[in-house]
């Protein structure tokens, strides 16, 4: 305790003896008590709590090793809410993203490593949470700390907020721990008023000063007070018309002064006034940024991105530097590598004589970054040097914002750059080759989402559509997308809800469009560069995007667009090639992707780290082949019933079985089904040579196999098929219909009622295995009983399987190794795991049903309320997507432990949908399951997630 206090004491700055000022913190160390008392007096403090010069202070006396130490410390704030930064000095660092947001933490880090960053301070994310929980109030102690941060900023930059001679202007920006580009608010040029603008005119020119002032009036009114931007635009237009000019920058000083007056009148007309005091402006702007955390668009973005668990946004208040001070100034954004392809080249854009927002908004077309080498060579050289330093420091590709003010480069932001899947994989592979990162680090640099992007289809033949290309835009986000044209975010969302793929076509996108962008297969815009809103968001999501398509004329009112002389209407198909920027009329055929090149190399590293095996859910030899190509180490689930849907003959045989009223007729129908099943199983054994193949016996309610439609028509069709009368068919259908089929006549209940079903299926599996083995294939069939809740159910089915196996082996004169195990998907089965494991040779958690029955949520009806539960924060994730760690997870954990205690070495896996979801894979890895099984296309994702889970677990 004492040493902790001493540490506190020694951290503080020594007080200058005799000083009557109030140091924020002061420590005096003296040998004796009397010296201490003297020092205390000299410092202007007396013992205990007191107020000096309006600051709350306290003194402490600590005795240690015969020394007396006295500290006079200005009472430290209960919580540090403001972190100052300037070149060479910063209170925070890159590890503090949760506290300072990504932007604040990285600004602090750049200052720490000595880069030229305009000074400022960051208000913590915790303040955002406090702000909202106190009904939108900025706490007093935070405001005091902001004033201290401002004083330090003024000192560091040598200018003062509100000073008429030497004014400091500020930017106020958001920045959460996870980047949410463009979703929250920003205020620029803060600190101007009628007097300061005069001072700024003297310092930086009248035109620049009044242009900055009118921009600030517009932005402050719009962002902070909610006055529509259009009202300012109308005033600007009116002055332009009166002055007879076309462009904003043609307005002279007098014109700009008129605009300023007109803008101030907008405030008055809206029943408010523009706050002249820069401190009031600063407080209101910080509050507005905190408010924007709860704006609809920010909430939608968090929902789409699955961003949860954050306290809020941080707010960074920073000295403004100006890229719009003439031809030696400029502003830009760049990436240290190409975020689309991963190539190691400087990639980005800049504008001379412009402010940062001009680049992102896509209003002026920016220049490629390489040209900066000619226009501002010194700044370009500094930028390249800084970029190299940052890549090495962060061991990752960086996304950078910079401004050049009168030839001097300032770094405004750096963060780990968003990238496409292809870019991520290439960067990871090349950074290992360059020696920048090691392989374990490289494996963590590619997200499962990146791999997912690469597993999306590509165009089958890029030369096939040459005659249908309407035009070419910028290849802003790669991939291939095909869909019907939608002109608004809401239309795109409607298409998605109706299951129709669509392409969102806009003049340019704004944060309001994110819902529609998420719903669309791809995005096409007429305006905007490679770093426009559309491009950045689409790349982050791995969505194909063609931006800045010159010549594209969008007519929202008519719901058409025209490009290359062709007019396309809403609802008509187009295709986008995000690799080339081509816009194609019609539907271009797509093909599945392959794992080769960099991806092949990367995936080969991945497998060295994981212990969790990855199997696939596949029902046909074709799916099994895809699964193997994607690296599946076996089949974890064949839903054997799916085999009946692939052909008229098969479904007809199945329907005869369902309609059968006697054991004989059912057996006869089953014998028709057997050859289909046997052939399919044989194909799957071949595709999975040497790997386990887990076949589940029939699971779904029988009426699912009957045709849809009008009852009389179905009855007529079934009567013709089976030879029964229509009345008999109706009776049978009525007998099969259930109030709650998901909890009804399904799973092992079917084959316990009709044992001949289990008999036929076991025969088909084992005959196929014997045949495959005879053809030289190494087979490992695992036969799985579905939906048991009791040991007796399992034993009933196991007995049939084993008896059938004995018969088949006798008939074939050979045998194959096989196991009989069970799905654990009813909570009672999980509870009885120890008992069940005495008979069952393996467990596979059917987490779809286990989630359904543990929560009591019908799998088929969750769409009505889960989105609301997620929105309200009642659920953090949809439990059918991400395993419910606390509840369902507890059952899995307990059943695994008890099952393995009863049968050491019991094989345990998962075959529900969560088996391919990265957070769930991490959980299953932690629980030491043997495998997860997921759809063939998700196998590489699960492999990477399993490797990352293992690396993380090893690190912990």
In whole angstroms, the minimum distance from the beta carbon of 787 to ligand PEP comes to 8
Q: Is 846 in the site for Mg ion (CB under 5 A)?
A: yes
Pairing mode of beta strands 907-910, 931-934: parallel
Contact between 623 and 936 under an 8 Å Cβ cutoff? The reply is yes
Binding partner at 893 among Mg ion, ligand PEP, none, C-beta below 5 to 8 Å by kind = none
In whole angstroms, the minimum distance from the beta carbon of 766 to ligand PEP comes to 22
Which CB, 471 or 879, lies closer to Mg ion? 879
Binding partner at 191 among ligand PEP, Mg ion, none, C-beta below 5 to 8 Å by kind = none
Paired residues of 525 in beta bridges: 506
CA distance 841 to 820: 6
Q: Is 679 exposed, middle or buried (0-12, 13-18, 19+ CB in 10 A)?
A: middle
In whole angstroms, the minimum distance from the beta carbon of 848 to Mg ion comes to 5
Q: Helix, strand, or coil here: 266? A: helix
Phi/psi-derived region of residue 803, left when phi > 0, alpha when psi is between -120 and 50, beta in every other case? alpha
Catalytic residue among 111, 549, 911, 934: 911
CA distance 329 to 354: 8
846 is in an annotated binding site: yes
No. of helices (H) and no. of strands (E), the chain = 37, 38
Residues that bind ligand PEP (CB under 6 A): 637, 639, 699, 825, 846-849, 911-912
CA distance 926 to 749: 33
Which CB, 401 or 699, lies closer to ligand PEP? 699
Contacting residue, 633, 849, 917, 930, with Mg ion by CB under 5 A: 849
Binding partner at 323 among Mg ion, ligand PEP, none, C-beta below 5 to 8 Å by kind = none
Q: Is 533 among the catalytic positions?
A: yes
CA distance 346 to 332: 12
Q: Helix, strand, or coil here: 581? A: coil
Which CB, 411 or 787, lies closer to Mg ion? 787
CA distance 885 to 879: 9
Q: Is 641 in the site for Mg ion (CB under 5 A)?
A: no
Which CB, 493 or 825, lies closer to Mg ion? 825
In whole angstroms, the minimum distance from the beta carbon of 927 to ligand PEP comes to 16
Spatial strand order in the sheet of 553-555: 553-555, 560-563, 566-569
In whole angstroms, the minimum distance from the beta carbon of 792 to ligand PEP comes to 21
Give all strands (DSSP E) within 336-453, no chain letters. Answer: 347-352, 367-368, 398-405, 408-416
Output phi, psi for 325, to 5 deg: -105, 30
- Pair of tokens at residue 592: 């599945």
Which CB, 240 or 639, lies closer to Mg ion? 639
Which CB, 373 or 743, lies closer to ligand PEP? 743
Which CB, 541 or 845, lies closer to ligand PEP? 845
* Burial state string for 385-415 with b = 16 or more CB within 10 A and e = fewer than 16: ebbeebbebbebbbbbbbbbbeeebbbbbbb
Q: Is 909 in the site for Mg ion (CB under 5 A)?
A: no
Paired residues of 480 in beta bridges: 577
Q: Is 911 among the catalytic positions?
A: yes
Element (H, E) at 187: strand 186-190
In whole angstroms, the minimum distance from the beta carbon of 749 to Mg ion comes to 13
Candidates 70-78, 189-197, 336-344, 849-857; binding stretch for Mg ion (CB under 5 A) = 849-857
Task: Compute CA distances 534 → 506, 528, 560, 831, whole Å.
Answer: 9, 8, 20, 50
In whole angstroms, the minimum distance from the beta carbon of 933 to ligand PEP comes to 8
Binding partner at 911 among ligand PEP, Mg ion, none, C-beta below 5 to 8 Å by kind = ligand PEP
Catalytic residue among 128, 533, 545, 877: 533
Which CB, 465 or 794, lies closer to Mg ion? 794
Candidates 456-464, 621-629, 668-676, 819-827; binding stretch for Mg ion (CB under 5 A) = 819-827
Pairing mode of beta strands 408-416, 398-405: antiparallel
CA distance 19 to 15: 7
Binding partner at 912 among ligand PEP, Mg ion, none, C-beta below 5 to 8 Å by kind = ligand PEP
The full DSSP string for 43-67 is HT--SSSEEETTEEEEEEEEEETTE
In whole angstroms, the minimum distance from the beta carbon of 867 to ligand PEP comes to 21
Q: Is 461 exposed, middle or buried (0-12, 13-18, 19+ CB in 10 A)?
A: exposed
Binding partner at 639 among ligand PEP, Mg ion, none, C-beta below 5 to 8 Å by kind = ligand PEP
- Pair of tokens at residue 246: 């076309």
Q: Distance of alpha carbon 684 from its chain centroid, rounded?
A: 35
In whole angstroms, the minimum distance from the beta carbon of 95 to ligand PEP comes to 40
Which CB, 563 or 910, lies closer to ligand PEP? 910
CA distance 20 to 26: 12
Binding partner at 8 among ligand PEP, Mg ion, none, C-beta below 5 to 8 Å by kind = none
Candidates 286-294, 327-335, 667-675, 822-830; binding stretch for Mg ion (CB under 5 A) = 822-830
Binding-residue total with Mg ion (CB under 5 A): 3
Q: Helix, strand, or coil here: 791? A: helix
In whole angstroms, the minimum distance from the beta carbon of 846 to Mg ion comes to 4
CA distance 314 to 175: 5
Subset of residues 764 to 783 that bind Mg ion, contact rule: CB under 5 A:
none
Contact between 312 and 176 under an 8 Å Cβ cutoff? The reply is yes
CA distance 460 to 590: 5
Contact between 470 and 518 under an 8 Å Cβ cutoff? The reply is no
Which CB, 432 or 637, lies closer to ligand PEP? 637
Which CB, 453 or 694, lies closer to ligand PEP? 694
| Closest CA relative to residue 909, chosen from 751, 699, 692, 764 | 692
Subset of residues 277 to 316 that bind Mg ion, contact rule: CB under 5 A:
none
In whole angstroms, the minimum distance from the beta carbon of 794 to ligand PEP comes to 16
Output phi, psi for 605, to 5 deg: -70, -40
849 is in an annotated binding site: yes
Binding partner at 854 among Mg ion, ligand PEP, none, C-beta below 5 to 8 Å by kind = none
Q: Helix, strand, or coil here: 604? A: helix
Subset of residues 525 to 564 that bind Mg ion, contact rule: CB under 5 A:
none
Three-point CA angle 387, 388, 391, nearest 5°: 85
Q: Helix, strand, or coil here: 248? A: helix
For Mg ion, the binding residues (CB under 5 A) are: 825, 846, 849
Q: Extract the annotated binding site.
A: 639, 696, 825, 846-849
* Residues annotated as catalytic (active site), given as ranges: 533, 911
Q: Extract the annotated binding site for substrate.
A: 639, 696, 825, 846-849
Q: Extract the annotated binding site for Mg(2+).
A: 825, 849
């Amino acid at each position: 305790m004492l040493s902790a206090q001493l540490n506190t004491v020694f951290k503080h700055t020594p007080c200058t003896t005799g000083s009557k000022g109030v140091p924020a913190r002061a420590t005096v160390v003296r040998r004796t008590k009397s010296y201490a008392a003297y020092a205390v007096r000299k410092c202007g403090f007396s013992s205990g709590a007191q107020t000096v010069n309006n600051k709350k202070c306290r003194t402490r006396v600590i005795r240690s090793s015969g020394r007396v130490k006295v500290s006079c410390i200005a009472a430290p704030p209960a919580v540090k809410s403001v972190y100052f930064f300037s070149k060479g000095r910063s209170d925070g660092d890159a590890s503090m993203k949760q506290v300072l947001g990504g932007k604040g933490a990285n600004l602090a880090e750049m200052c720490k490593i000595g880069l030229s960053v305009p000074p400022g301070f960051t208000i913590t994310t915790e303040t955002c949470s406090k702000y909202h929980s106190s009904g939108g109030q900025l706490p007093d102690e935070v405001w005091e700390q902001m004033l201290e941060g401002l004083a330090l900023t003024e000192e560091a930059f040598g200018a003062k907020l509100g000073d008429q001679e030497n004014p400091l202007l500020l930017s106020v920006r958001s920045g959460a721990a996870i980047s949410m580009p463009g979703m929250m608010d920003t205020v620029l040029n803060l600190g101007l008023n009628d007097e300061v603008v005069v001072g700024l005119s003297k310092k930086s020119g009248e035109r620049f000063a009044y242009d900055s002032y009118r921009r600030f009036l517009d932005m402050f009114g719009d962002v902070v007070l909610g006055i529509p931007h259009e009202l300012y635009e109308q005033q600007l237009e009116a002055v332009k018309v009166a002055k007879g000019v076309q462009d904003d920058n043609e307005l002279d000083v007098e014109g700009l002064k008129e605009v300023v007056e007109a803008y101030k009148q907008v405030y008055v007309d809206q029943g408010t006034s523009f706050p002249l005091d820069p401190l009031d402006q600063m407080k209101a702007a910080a509050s507005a940024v905190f408010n924007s955390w709860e704006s609809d668009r920010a909430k939608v973005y968090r929902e789409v991105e699955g961003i949860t668990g954050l306290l809020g946004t941080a707010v960074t208040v920073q000295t403004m530097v100006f890229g719009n001070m003439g031809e030696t100034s400029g502003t830009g954004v760049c990436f240290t590598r190409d975020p689309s392809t991963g190539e190691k080249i400087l990639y980005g854009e800049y504008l001379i004589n412009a402010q940062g927002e001009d680049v992102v908004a896509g209003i002026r077309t920016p220049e490629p970054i390489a040209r900066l080498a000619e226009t501002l060579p010194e700044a370009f050289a500094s930028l390249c040097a800084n970029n190299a330093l940052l890549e090495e420091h962060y061991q990752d590709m960086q996304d950078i914002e910079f401004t050049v003010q009168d030839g001097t480069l300032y770094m405004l932001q750096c963060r780990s750059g968003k990238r496409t899947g292809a870019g991520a994989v290439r960067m990871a592979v090349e950074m290992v080759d360059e020696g920048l990162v090691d392989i374990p680090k490289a494996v963590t640099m590619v997200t499962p989402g990146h791999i997912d992007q690469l597993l999306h289809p590509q165009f089958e033949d890029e030369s096939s559509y040459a005659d249908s290309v309407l035009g070419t835009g910028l290849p802003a986000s790669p991939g291939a997308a095909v869909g019907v044209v939608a002109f608004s975010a809401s239309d795109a969302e409607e298409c998605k809800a109706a299951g129709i793929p669509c392409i969102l076509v806009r003049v340019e996108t704004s944060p309001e469009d994110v819902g529609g962008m998420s719903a669309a297969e791809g995005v096409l815009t007429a305006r905007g560069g490679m770093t426009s809103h559309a491009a950045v968001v689409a790349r982050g999501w791995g969505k194909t995007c063609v931006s800045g398509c010159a010549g594209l004329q969008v007519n929202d009112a008519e719901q058409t667009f025209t490009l290359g002389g062709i007019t396309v209407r809403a609802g008509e198909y187009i295709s986008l090639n995000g690799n080339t920027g081509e816009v194609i009329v019609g539907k271009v055929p797509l093909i599945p992707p392959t794992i080769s090149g960099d991806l092949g190399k990367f995936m080969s590293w991945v497998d060295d780290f994981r212990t969790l095996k990855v199997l696939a859910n596949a029902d046909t030899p074709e799916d099994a082949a895809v699964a193997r190509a994607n690296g599946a180490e076996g089949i974890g689930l064949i839903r054997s019933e799916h085999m009946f849907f692939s052909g008229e003959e098969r479904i007809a045989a199945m329907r005869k079985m369902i309609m059968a009223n006697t054991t004989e007729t059912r057996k006869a129908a089953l014998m028709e089904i057997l050859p289909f099943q046997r052939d399919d199983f044989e194909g799957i054994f071949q595709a999975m040579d040497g790997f386990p193949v887990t076949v589940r016996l029939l699971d779904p309610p029988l009426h699912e196999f009957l045709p849809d439609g009008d009852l009389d028509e179905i009855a007529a069709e079934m009567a013709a098929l089976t030879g029964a009368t229509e009345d008999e068919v109706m009776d049978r259908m009525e007998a099969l219909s259930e109030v709650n089929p998901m909890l009804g006549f399904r799973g092992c209940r079917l084959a316990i009622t009709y044992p001949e079903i289990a008999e036929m299926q076991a025969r088909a599996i084992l005959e196929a295995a014997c045949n495959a083995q005879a053809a030289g294939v190494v087979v490992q069939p695992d036969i799985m009983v579905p939906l048991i809740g009791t040991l007796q159910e399992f034993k009933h089915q196991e007995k049939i399987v084993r008896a059938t196996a004995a018969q088949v082996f006798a008939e074939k004169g050979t045998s194959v190794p096989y196991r009989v195990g069970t799905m654990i998907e009813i909570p009672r089965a999980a509870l009885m795991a120890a008992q069940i494991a005495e008979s069952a040779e393996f467990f596979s958690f059917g987490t779809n049903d286990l989630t359904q029955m543990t929560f009591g949520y019908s799998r088929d009806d969750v769409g009505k309320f889960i989105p609301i539960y997620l929105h309200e924060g009642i659920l953090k994730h949809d439990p059918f997507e991400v395993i419910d760690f606390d509840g369902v997870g507890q059952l899995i954990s307990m059943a695994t432990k008890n099952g393995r205690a009863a049968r050491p070495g019991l094989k345990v896996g998962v075959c529900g949908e969560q088996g391919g979801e990265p957070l769930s894979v991490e959980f299953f890895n932690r629980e030491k399951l043997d495998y997860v099984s997921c759809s063939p296309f998700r196998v590489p994702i699960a492999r990477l997630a399993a490797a990352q889970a293992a690396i993380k677990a090893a690190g912990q």
